[in-house]
Chains A and B, each alone.
Chain A
Amino acid sequence: NAGVTQTPKFQVLKTGQSMTLQCAQDMNHEYMSWYRQDPGMGLRLIHYSVGAGITDQGEVPNGYNVSRSTTEDFPLRLLSAAPSQTSVYFCASSYFDTMEYGYTFGSGTRLTVV
């Protein structure tokens, strides 16, 4: 099924632990991004990529790292988890040269840092 696949769906981390949230898409979208969603704050952009080998920071990049070695994959790494990173994380992808079809979002990863 074409779309954006995120794993895991749920994760509990202890403060200071590191982990990688996985995101893969099979639509050959050039553009991929990571958002976090917190109650009352909407979606906030963490990092984004306009193609393999190219990444850039969004609104709230601190504490997160990304890389884009292939068109399909865009993993998000938490370097040293903090309780403030408890959130729902969404990966999204789209065509780069047109916004007519919008973003395709994954189903999210719910992360709790204790």
Chain B
Amino acid sequence: SQKIEQNSEALNIQEGKTATLTCNYTNYSPAYLQWYRQDPGRGPVFLLLIRENEKEKRKERLKVTFDTTLKQSLFHITASQPADSATYLCAPGKGRRALTFGSGTRLQVQP
């Protein structure tokens, strides 16, 4: 069965630095991959989607890469701010099938 791995350990970085989160998947060939942000006590919020034929996608301070050979997506937040502190979830998908989510990585940006 498909497996999605995100670093379960929290990532602590200093304000202004670039945060890089990893999403690895196995036994799966997704057509796209989505990233979500989740704050404590709230539902996940969609951030962006990258398709298998896109190497990189940017949205404001966010950058996502998708390497189908390595079966990996990297999620970057440049010039990080304390307000970026949250848990980030990845969700590889294919067609109209229901999404399977990774367990998320918690990011803590220190001022």
Contacts and interface: CB of A to CB of B under 8 A. Distances in A.
Interface residues of B, number: 23
A107 interface: yes
A108 interface: yes
Given A99-B34, A103-B44, A43 B101 contact: yes
A50 B44 contact: no
Contacts of B101: 35, 42-43
Nearest to B90: A42
Nearest to A96: B96
A102 B89 contact: no
Of listed B32, B98, B102, B103, residue having the most chain A CB within 10 A: B98
A17 B65 CA distance: 47
Q: Chain A interface: which size bin?
A: 20 to 34
A42 B49 contact: no
A39 to B, nearest CB: 9
A45 B32 CA distance: 19
B96 to A, nearest CB: 6
B36 A42 contact: no
A105 B100 contact: no
A40 B43 CA distance: 16
